[in-house]
Each structure stands twice: as structure tokens, then as C-alpha cells.
Chain A
């Protein structure tokens, strides 16, 4: 069974801290790994990672994929209260057609 596991499930930090969110996967026919930020209802796309060891960066957020370890991390530096959200990791697999398998998400709370 294809599985994506995120940790921690919940994290509370103070503004200005740096956080690292983890995503590990066990899937067949891996294609790529996606990170989303979910506030309120709709997730918004952050990163797509296909190649191992290449860091993707956007402002204070960065992410990297390790295909050997079957995992990815999402880093957020100098956190702000606006970073509070659920961060979702999803793996794209190919089973005839493409399909996404999502992790449970990490609920990040940034306190002022």
C-alpha cells in the first residue's frame, strides 16, 4: 500500500524560530514529491521536487528531496505568524494515470 507519513503532526514555535518539517514515503512508481500550504480550506502549491539533492528555495522556505532515504524536508527560517498553517506533503505516483498520495499534514502554529 502506498503511504506518505509526515512528522511532527503538530508543532508550536515562537516567531523567529526555524522549523523543519519531515515527509517520508513508501510508494511504487514514484514520480515527484509536492509540498502544499493549507490555510482555511484550499491548499496552495509550494514546491515540486523530482531530483534528489537539489534544494528548491522560495524566500524563507526551502525544501530538498532524498530519494535514497525516501524522504523530504521543508525548512522555514525566521518564522512569522503568517506561516501558521497545515503543511501537506504529497507524492505523485504513476499507476496507469498519475495519482497523488497525501500525508496527514503537519499543523504549524507560530506564536508571537
Chain B
């Protein structure tokens, strides 16, 4: 595709429910990254995929967060038993040339 796409663009969920966020990277990009941006905060690194494997999961804030990537392409970020502090914009980025990451539009998650 022309760029990184994410879905849904907005998600409102009740506290305690599970949510799944999707990222479609740019075709051919081997690396994929998930970030979180809370209101007024900088970008927080969550997890990085190289192909289908995740060499760095150190940014996942708790065991309620998990992510997978299949076929070296689409990735899903799952948040179980959502809490209000999970409310944020979740950004996905992909890259081919090292460090030049292209970001998707993000998913705005609101936990009520």
C-alpha cells in the first residue's frame, strides 16, 4: 500500500474489556514498531518486530499487553482487561532502511 494503515481509527471500550488494534505496514518493510502516546506525553516504545519475531518486548507496560505479527506483514496489538490508564493513541510504524520509520495514523483508544 501507499503507507502504513491502522484500524480502527478510534475505539471506545469499557474498562475490563479486551481490545485488538491492527497495523498494516508498508509492503516490503521488514521491521514494525508499536508506540503509545498518552495525552501531553511523548512517544513511548512498546514493541519491535523484525519479520515475525519480536527481539524487543521491553516496552510492553504489563502482561495485559501482547502483540503478534504474521506473514511478516500485519500486526495486532491486544490489550486484555483494559484499564483507564490504557487510554492513549497507539501508533504503528514500519521501516526497511534502518531507523527511517514511517508512521501510521494511529488508533485513539478511550477506556471508559
Q: Which residues of A contact B (CB under 8 A)?
A: 31-32, 34, 40-45, 48, 88, 90, 92, 95-105
Q: A residues within 8 A CB of B43?
A: 43, 88, 90, 100, 102
Chain A contact residues: helix, strand, loop or mixed: strand
Nearest-Cβ distance from residue B49 to partner chain A, whole angstroms? 10
Q: B residues within 8 A CB of A99?
A: 45, 48, 56, 58-59
Q: B residues within 8 A CB of A32?
A: 99
Q: In the complex, A41 Cα to B56 Cα: how many Å?
A: 24
Q: A residues within 8 A CB of B106?
A: 41-42
Q: Which residues of B contact A (CB under 8 A)?
A: 33, 35, 41-45, 48, 50, 55-56, 58-59, 89, 91, 98-106, 108
Number of A-B contacts (CB under 8 A): 60
Q: Which of B33, B43, B98, B106 has the most A CB atoms < 10 Å from its CB?
A: B43
Q: In the complex, A104 Cα to B40 Cα: how many Å?
A: 8
> Per a CB cutoff under 8 Å, which of B42, B56, B91 touches A97?
B56
Chain B contact residues: helix, strand, loop or mixed: strand
Q: In the complex, A78 Cα to B41 Cα: how many Å?
A: 28
Q: In the complex, A103 Cα to B41 Cα: how many Å?
A: 9
Q: In the complex, A40 Cα to B105 Cα: how many Å?
A: 9
Q: List 13 A-B contacts (CB under 8 A).
A: A41-B105, A42-B91, A43-B43, A90-B43, A92-B99, A95-B58, A98-B99, A99-B45, A100-B33, A100-B99, A100-B101, A102-B43, A104-B41
Are A41 and B50 within 8 A (Cβ)?
no
Of all chain B residues, the one with the shortest Cβ separation from A34 is B99
Are B42 and A105 within 8 A (Cβ)?
yes
Q: In the complex, A48 Cα to B100 Cα: how many Å?
A: 8
Nearest-Cβ distance from residue A99 to partner chain B, whole angstroms? 6
Instruction: Add 9 more A-B contacts to A97-B55, A102-B44 (CB < 8 A).
Output: A41-B108, A42-B91, A44-B103, A45-B102, A88-B42, A90-B43, A92-B99, A100-B33, A105-B42
Of all chain A residues, the one with the shortest Cβ separation from B4 is A42
